[in-house]
Amino acid sequence: MSFQIAIDGPVASGKGTIARLVAKQLGFFYLDTGAMYRSVALAAERAGVALNNEDTVVDLISHLTLEVRPPNQQEQDGRLITVVLNGEDISWAIRDEKITDGSSKVAVLAKVRQQMVKLQQAIAANQNVVVDGRDITYRVLPRAQLKIFLTGSAEARAKRRLLEWRKQGKQVTYEQVYADIMERDKRDSERQADPLQVVPNAWVLDTTDLTIEQVAERVVTRAKELYVF
């Protein structure tokens, strides 16, 4: 029987990094749902489709071939996941700041989320997985054996994101990053399609005063308590 770890939480709570570390340590497949929404945003931009045109974006998705998988030996260039859209490797193209912003816009569309959830569930079926996002614990993997809600203060999350962006060479200020965090939080909590929420049986884990490694260690320990390896 497969074991599923579902991780939800606000932007910059460390979901992606922690999910990847946990997957690596447990030997599970890591499914980056954020990369999937980024892929839709990139496809929409290239096709000249307005990100708020829900029906057109949904139609666009129906014509996409999307593959999400671990990097192979020829793809060891620092990436953590490989994303292939219609046969093209877009693993780095979707990390552009404009595409990041676009992904949060298409992700609020109810019909888009319905389509993406189907794809995510198909990928996660019948294998041990770690999946992170905004609606994983109750929409994508409602039967996951381990459900986690990662949280953290807006200040701590802004500092974390600022450090990440500066490592990428982006010239941004703390004030800009903090404002972006607050805007993303507002957008996530107010969206009609699956607003960010904590399900009753989720383990709420505050990352404010913990390192990424400490959080990952706690998650791995909890998984091993629930699953016989």
Strands 88-89 and 203-206: unpaired
Architecture in CATH for domain 35-127: 3-Layer(aba) Sandwich (3.40)
Could you state, in order of their start, the residue ranges of all structural domains in the chain? 1-28+129-229, 35-127
Q: What is the pLDDT of residues 160-202, one digit of tens each?
A: 999 988 887 888 999 999 999 999 899 888 877 678 899 999 9
From 1.20.810.10, 3.30.428.10, 3.40.50.300, 3.60.15.10, which CATH number describes the 1-28+129-229 domain? 3.40.50.300
User: Which tens digit of pLDDT belongs to each residue from 29-78?
Assistant: 999 898 999 999 999 999 999 999 999 999 999 999 999 988 899 999 98
pLDDT at 229 over 70: no
What predicted TM-score, i.e. pTM, was given to this entire model? 0.84
